Structure 1
């Protein structure tokens, strides 16, 4: 059973806060913990303003998010670790091979695609990332 879920991206300010927010919203009232972190987190920073804007336009409020770094302690406490792209999965498994079996891509059930990083790109890139993350979250709900 997946009761503790972590969503991972690079800086923990664009993709993973959206993924965390969508899963948290979908799992509300189901006694699940959902957090996010970054492999190169901008620790303490809020979500990127465009990520907040796009999320708000879809009825999701991630404005209270603050970035945190992935650590062995955080990762080890999780039942499921969802990464936004293969570089994140590879980094985690190279650093912490004992986590094999818990690490999967957010888009695992959608062709195992990467969610492209919209950081410092136009609003359209954030819209695309949001759509991909939302699709991944919907598919994961079958298993959560």
Structure 2
């Protein structure tokens, strides 16, 4: 049973916080701690405005988010870690070598695709990524 779930990308302002807040919304009735972090986080920054807007359009408020730098302790404390790209998974395993059994790509149960980084792109790129993240999360729900 996953009681602590962590989502991870690079900057922790687009993909991983979107995944975190979508998980929060979908798992609201469950006793699960959710968080996100970045391998190269823009620590202290809020969520990207376009990512925030897409969540708001679904009735989800991500305004409280502030980017955090991923640490080995975060990986050890989590029960499940979901990375956005295969190279994120590899980097996390290198950062905390005993954690590989609980680190997976978000798209694992679908096509195993990397979820591209929409940072500094136009809204259509964010919409595409949002859809991929939502599908990835929905595919995990039966296992949580």
TM-score band by shorter chain is: over 0.9
TM-score by length of 2: 0.97
Question: Any idea what the Cα deviations from partners look like across 1:12-71, whole Å, max 9, x if unmatched?
Answer: 000001000011111112110010000000000000011111111222211110000110
> Which residues in structure 2 correspond to 1:104-115 (within 5 Å)?
104-115=104-115
> Which residues in structure 2 correspond to 1:115-126 (within 5 Å)?
115-126=115-126
Q: Which has the higher helix share?
A: 2
Aligned residues: 144
Q: Which runs of 5+ in 2 are unaligned?
A: none
RMSD: 0.8
Question: Any idea what the Cα deviations from partners look like across 1:66-101, whole Å, max 9, x if unmatched?
Answer: 000110111110000000011210111122221111
Q: Which runs of 5+ in 1 are unaligned?
A: none
In structure 2, distance between residues paired with 1:71 and 1:94: 12
Give the equivalent residue in structure 1 for 2:69.
Answer: 69
TM-score by length of 1: 0.97
Give the equivalent residue in structure 1 for 2:23.
Answer: 23
> Which residues in structure 2 correspond to 1:1-144 (within 5 Å)?
1-144=1-144
